[in-house]
A and B are shown apart, each in its own frame.
Chain A
Amino acid sequence: MYRFIQTLLMALFLIAAATPWVRAEEGLRDLVNALGEAKLSNMDEHIEALAKTGDPKVVPILEALGEGNLYARKVDGQVFLTTGSGSKLALTDPVSGESAGEAPKAGLQKVKVNNSVRRAVRTALGSLTLLSQDRNARLKAAKSVLQSPDADALDAIENALAAEKDAEVRALLEQARATTLLVSDRPVEEKKQAVQTLKEWGGGDALSVLSSALGSADEALKSDIEAALVGLEQTQALWAAGQNVWYGLSLGSVLLLAAIGLAITFGVMGIINMAHGEMVMLGAYTTFLVQEVVRNSFPGLFDWSLAIALPLAFLVTGAVGLAMERGVIRFLYGRPLETLLATWGISLILQQSVRTIFGPTNREVGNPSWMSGAFELGGLTITWNRLWIILFALAAFAALLFLLKKTPMGLQMRAVTQNRRMASSMGIRTPWVDALTFALGSGIAGMAGVALSQIDNVSPNLGQGYIIDSFMVVVFGGVGNLWGTLVGAFSLGILNKFLEPYAGAVLGKILVLVLIILFIQKRPRGLFALKGRAVEA
C-alpha cells in the first residue's frame, strides 16, 4: 500500500520536469475532484494518487480531508476546502488556494471520511511532510511514520534523518527507523543495531514493537530481542507499579475533593449532610453556565473559564449552603441523625430543581487546552487534567487547613464547634459562625464540582455518585480531623487501584468497602481518632 513512497521522489521529478505547470495543476484538480466521487472503500487509492504528485498543495487538501472540511459542490462536482460552520460555508479553491466565495451547505456534499481514510491521510501526510520546513510538521510526520512502520518508507526516513537537525525530531526519526528496520529485509547486523536502539529507547512502545518482531525474527536475531525484552519488561513492571500509584493518587484526589467539604459540614459540625453531593453538582453546573456564557460571548476566554467558574461556584454553592443552614439546619443542631433526614429531603429537591431547569441530560463542560492531553514522564503517562486535579485538591486542602488553623475566623469556627455555650458567652456570634462554617463547607464542595466537571458527567445525578464515597473517606479518616480526610482519601484511592488489576473494578470496590468495615471494627473512630479521656459520662 505504501509502495508509492519509494517512487515518490522519482515521480515528483518526472512530473515536475516533463509536464508544464498548467497540466500539473489541471491534473491536481482532477485528482481532487475525483475525491468527491470516490467511495469510502477506494478512497485510499485516490489519496495515494494525490500524495504521489508530491505537490505541496496536496498537504492542506489532505489535512482538510482528514478533518472533514472537504466538500463537493452538488451542481458541478467541484471540490473545495471549506471553513466555518452553520448553514453557509466559506469555500477555498484547493488548487489556487484562493477564496471561492460562500455556498449554502445544502448545495454541498461532504467528502466522506472514516477511520481508514484518516489513517491513509495521516500516513500520506507523514511521508509528505518529513522534509517540511516547519519543525512541528516534521515532528508530526515523524510521529506518524513511527506509528505505522512500513518497510518501503525506510529510505525516506533515512533521507529525512540525514537532513534533520532538530534533536527531538531526530530522536523520533531514529526510533522510527529502528522500528521500520525490524520489519524490513535489511541484514541482521543492522537489525541488531535497531534492537539496541529500541532497548535504549525503552518504554511500553518499544516493548510492544520488540515482542511483535520476535515472532517473525531470524534465529540470529531472536536471542538479541529476547535479551532486550527481559530488561525492558523489568523496568516496565516497575513503571507499571509507579503508574498504579499515580492512578491511585489521582483517584484519591478525586475522593479528597469530594470529601473535603463534607469534612467540614459533617466532620467539624456534625451534620450528616446528605445534600453534600448536590453541592458538588451545583458547582459543576455553575461551570457549565460559565462556559456557556464564555462560549457565546467571549470565546477567547475559554481557557480561563475554569478560573472564572471557581470563585463563582464557591459563591453559588456557599449561598445555597447559607440558605440551607439558616432555613433548616440551624433548628437541628444536636440532633445529627435528623439532619440526615432533612438534608436528604433537600437533596431530592435540589436534584429535581436542576433537572427541571437544565433538563435531565448531561451537559457539556469542555476541557480547556491546558487540561487536555497527556505527557510522558519516564515510563509514566500523566494526563494533564488529572495532574491539575491533584494539585487543585492539595491546594484546596492547604487553604482550608490554613483558614481553620491560622485565621481568627477559623479559631471562632473551632471554638463554636467544640463548645457552643462557652464560645457564645465569650462574645462569638455563634449562629453567624455556624452559618458561615456551613457555607464554607458547601462552597468548597462547589469548587470540587468545578474540578469534577472535567472528568465526570455533568448531570443531576452527579452528586449521588460521590456521596457514599465521601462519607466513607471522612469516617475512615476520622471524623473531625482534616488530616484524616487527606490520608483517608489517598490511601483508599491507592488501595482501590492496587486491587483493581487483580480483582477487577467491581470486586475491588467491594473489597475496599469490606476493608473499611473491618477497619472501623479495629478503630471505631477512624484512622486519626482523637484519643483521650472520653467526655461522655
Chain B
Amino acid sequence: MITLFLVKSLDRTIIIAVAILLALAVLVPALNLLTAPDHPLHVPIYLVSLFGKYLTYALLALALDLVWGFCGILSLGHAAFFALGGYAMGMYLMRQIGARGSYGNPLLPDFMVFLNWKELPWFWYGFDMFWFAALMVVLVPGLLAFVFGWFAFRSRVNGVYLSIITQAMTYALLLAFFRNDMGFGGNNGLTDFKDILGFNIQAAGTRTALFAASALALATSLVITSGIVRSKFGKVLVALRDAESRTRFLGYRVEHMKLFAFTVSAMMAGVAGALYVPQVGIINPGEFAPGNSIEVVIWTAVGGRGTLVGPIIGAILVNGGKSIFTAAFPEFWLFALGGLFVLVTLFLPKGVVGTFQQYLARRRAYCVAARKNEEAELAAAEPTAAE
C-alpha cells in the first residue's frame, strides 16, 4: 500500500527534483571536504551553510504549499510551527552544552543561571536525549496544529478569518516566548551551541552533514507531499479548496481532511525548523514574528502555489535575492524586495513555476490542435480523445 503510494507520487518533475536534491546532498559535501580551498570547484563552507538554510526555508515553503496551494488554507502562522521545531532542537543542543557553559553548570543553561533559576523546568526534561528531541520536533508543532485545527476547522473558520487567527496564534506565541519567565531564554533565545550528536557543530564535516540532511529531508518531504497530492486524498483537498460545500455534500468530512493536511504540514515545518537551528546557530522568538509567516507565503507565491517544486524554487530565489541585495544595496534592497512582491502578484499570479507550466500546457495544446487540424484535413477522420 505504502509502496504504491510512493510510486504513484513520482512523476517526471518530482523525479528530476529529487535527483537534483540527492545529487546535491552528495556532491556539495564532497566538493567542500575533498577539494582544496583554491580549487575552482571548491564550495566554501559559507555557501554550504547558506544553501543549507535555504533548503530548510524551501521545506517550510513546501509545507505551507500543502495547505495553501492544495487545500486553500492560507496559514499566516506557519513560522510558528517552524520555530517550535527549532526550539525543540535548540533545547536539545542547549542540553548538549552540559558543563561547558560560561558558569559551568552541568544542568542549567547559562541564561537560567544568571537569572537565578535554581532547577531545570519540567519541560526541559528529556531533551538531553536526541531521540526525544527529534520526536518533539514533529510532535509539538503537530500537536499544536492538531488542537488549533481541530477547533478552527470544526467551527468552520475559513478564509481571512482563519488567516487572521493563525496570525494571532503566532503573535501570541511570539509574545509568550519573549517572556523570560517562560524559560526559553526570552529575547536572546537559545544560542552558543557546541555540538550535535557528539560532533562539533562548527566543524566543516558537521555543517556539510547538516546540509546533506536538509537536502534529504526536503527530498523525502517532496516525495511524501507528492504522494499526498496525487492520491485521492489530494484530489479531495483540491476539491474542497475549489468548492468546499460540494465536497461536504459528497459526504467528505472536510474538517478531517483539512486537519490532516494542516497537521502534516505543521510537522514538516517543525522538521524544517529543527534543521535550520543548528545551521544558523540560534533560535529566538523573532522567528515567530508574523512578518516571517507572511514571507513564507510570499516565497510560495513567487515560486508558484499549487505546484510542488514552485515553493522550493520560490524560497531559494527570494532568499538568494535577499542575501545578495542586503549586501549589494543595503539601503535599497527593501525596494527591490517590495517591488518583487508587487510585480509577481500582478504579472505572475501563478508564480514562476505555475506560469512556466501554463506556457508548456498551452504549447502542448497548440501542438495537439495543430495535429488534429492536419488529421482533419487529411481524412476528416473521427477526432479521438486527446491523450
Chain B residue contacts of A341, Cβ below 8 A = 297-298, 301, 341, 344-345
B152 in contact with A521 (CB, 8 Å): yes
User: Known interface pairs A472-B168, A517-B165. Does A335 touch B349 (Cβ–Cβ under 8 Å)?
Assistant: yes
A319-337, CB < 8 A from B = 328, 331-332, 335-337
Residues A475 and B349 in contact in the complex (CB < 8 Å), given A506-B179, A510-B175, A510-B176: no
By a CB distance below 8 angstroms, the chain B residues around A331 are 346
**Within 8 Å of chain B (Cβ to Cβ): is A514?**
yes
How long is the Cα–Cα vector from A258 to B163 in the complex, in angstroms? Answer: 20
122-172 of chain B: CB within 8 A of chain A? 148, 151-152, 154-161, 163-165, 167-169, 171-172
Question: Which A residues lie within 8 Å of B163 (CB)?
Answer: 272, 337, 340
Nearest Cβ on chain B to A128's Cβ, whole angstroms: 50
B349-A342 in contact (CB<8A): no
Specify which of A332, A342, A356, A525 is in contact with B161 (CB 8 Å cutoff): A525
- Among B176, B298, B332, which residue has its beta carbon within 8 angstroms of that of A352? B332
Contact mask for chain A residues 499-537; partner B; CB cutoff 8 A; 1 contact, 0 none: 000000011011001101110111011100000000011
> Which A residues touch B155, using CB under 8 A?
520-522, 524
Residue of B nearest to A324 (CB): B342
- A345 engages B172 (CB within 8 Å): no
B301 touches A521 (CB 8 A): no
B181 nearest CB across to chain A (Å): 9
A residues less than 8 Å from B178 (CB atoms): 506
Contact check, B245 vs A536: say whether CB atoms are below 8 A apart.
yes
B334 at the interface (CB under 8 A from A): yes
- Highest count of chain B CB atoms <10 Å: which of A331, A349, A479: A349
Interface status of A471 (Cβ within 8 A of chain B): yes
1/0 per residue B335-377: CB within 8 Å of A?
Answer: 1011111101110010000000000000000000000000000
Residues of B within 8 A of A348 (CB): 334-335, 337-338, 341
Q: Which of A351, A352, A464, A475 is in CB contact (< 8 Å) with B164?
A: A475
Q: For the complex, is A201 an interface residue (Cβ under 8 Å from B)?
A: no
In the assembled complex, the Cα of A526 lies from the Cα of B290 at a distance in Å of 21
Partner of B165, one of A338, A352, A520: A520
Please judge, given known A-B contacts A338-B349, A516-B168, A524-B155, whether A479 and B338 are in contact too, CB under 8 Å. Answer: no
Q: A250 on the interface (CB 8 Å rule)?
A: no
Q: How many residues of B contact A (CB 8 A)?
A: 45
Which A residues from 341 to 375 make CB contacts under 8 A with B? 341-342, 344-349, 351-353, 356
Given known A335-B349, A348-B334, A352-B334, contact A513–B341 (CB-CB < 8 A): no
Expressed in whole angstroms, the Cα–Cα distance for A342 and B339 within the complex equals 9
Query: Do the beta carbons of B171 and A468 come within 8 Å of each other?
Result: yes
Alpha-carbon distance A60/B108, docked complex (angstroms): 62
Q: Are B345 and A351 in contact (CB under 8 A)?
A: no
Whether B175 lies near A506 (C-beta < 8 A) is yes
Residues A521 and B349 in contact in the complex (CB < 8 Å), given A337-B74, A468-B290, A516-B165: no
Contact partners of B161 in chain A: CB under 8 A: 475, 479, 520, 524-526
Name the CB-closest residue of B to A349: B338
B residues within 8 A CB of A518? 151
| Residues A509 and B175 in contact in the complex (CB < 8 Å), given A342-B346, A517-B169 | yes
Q: A514 and B298: CB pair below 8 A?
A: no
**How many contacts between A and B, using CB within 8 angstroms?**
122
Question: Which residues from B are CB-within-8-Å of A516?
Answer: 165, 168
When chains A and B are docked, how far (Å) is the Cα of A352 from the Cα of B337? 11
Question: Among A266, A274, A332, A471, which residue has the most Cβ atoms of chain B within 10 A?
Answer: A471
For the complex formed, measure the closest distance between the CB of B333 and the CB atoms of chain A, giving whole angstroms.
9
Contact yes or no, B294 A340, CB < 8 A: yes
Chain B, Cβ-Cβ closest to A337:
B74
Tell me if A514 and B172 are in contact (CB < 8 A): yes
Which has the most chain B C-beta neighbours within 10 Å: A331, A340, A345, A526? Answer: A345
Instruction: Report whether B345 and A346 are in contact in the complex, using a CB–CB cutoff of 8 Å.
Output: no
A475: chain B residues at CB < 8 Å are 160-161, 164-165
Do A351 and B334 contact each other (CB < 8 Å), given the known contacts A337-B74, A341-B297, A475-B160? yes
- Indicate if B387 sits at the interface (CB-CB under 8 A): no
B38 close to A (CB within 8 Å): no
Chain A contacts of B334 at CB under 8 A? 348-349, 351-352
Q: How far is the CB of B167 from chain A (nearest CB, A)?
A: 7
CA distance in complex: A471, B165 (Å): 10
Please give, as numbers and ranges, the residues of chain B lying within 8 Å of A464 by CB-CB distance. 291
Cβ-neighbour of A468 out of B167, B176, B331 (below 8 A): B167
- Please give the distance in Å from A328's CB to the nearest CB on chain B: 6
> Chain B's nearest CB lies how many Å from the CB of A375?
34
Chain B residues with CB below 8 A from A472, complex form: 164, 168
Nearest B residue (CB) for A479: B160
Cβ of A507: which chain B residues have Cβ within 8 Å of it? 179
| Nearest chain A CB to B189 CB, angstrom units | 16
| CB-contact partner of B341 in A332, A345, A351, A526, under 8 A | A345
Q: How far in angstroms is the closest Cβ of chain B from A507?
A: 7
Q: What's the Cα separation between A520 and B158 when bound, in Å?
A: 10
Cβ–Cβ contact B294 & A344, under 8 A: yes
Q: How far is the CB of A186 from chain B (nearest CB, A)?
A: 49
User: 0/1 per residue, B162-203, Cβ < 8 Å to A?
Assistant: 011101110110011011000000000000000000000000
Give complex CA distance A428, B172 in Å: 44
B158 to A, closest residue via Cβ: A524
**8 Å CB contact of A344 from B169, B172, B245, B341:** B341
A352 and B338 form a contact (CB under 8 A) = yes
Chain A to chain B: the 7 pairs with minimum beta-carbon distance, closest first? A345-B341, A348-B338, A349-B338, A352-B334, A513-B172, A345-B338, A345-B342
What are 13 A-B interface contacts by the 8 Å CB criterion? A266-B160, A328-B345, A336-B159, A337-B74, A356-B331, A471-B167, A475-B161, A514-B172, A520-B155, A520-B157, A522-B155, A524-B155, A525-B161
Contacts A336-B159, A348-B334 known; list 7 others, CB within 8 Å. A272-B160, A339-B345, A342-B341, A346-B338, A346-B342, A510-B172, A520-B152
Chain B residues within CB distance 8 Å of chain A: 74, 148, 151-152, 154-161, 163-165, 167-169, 171-172, 175-176, 178-179, 245, 290-291, 294, 297-298, 301, 331-332, 334-335, 337-342, 344-346, 349
Residues on A facing B (Cβ under 8 Å): 266, 272, 274, 328, 331-332, 335-342, 344-349, 351-353, 356, 464, 468, 471-472, 475, 479, 506-507, 509-510, 513-514, 516-518, 520-522, 524-526, 536-537
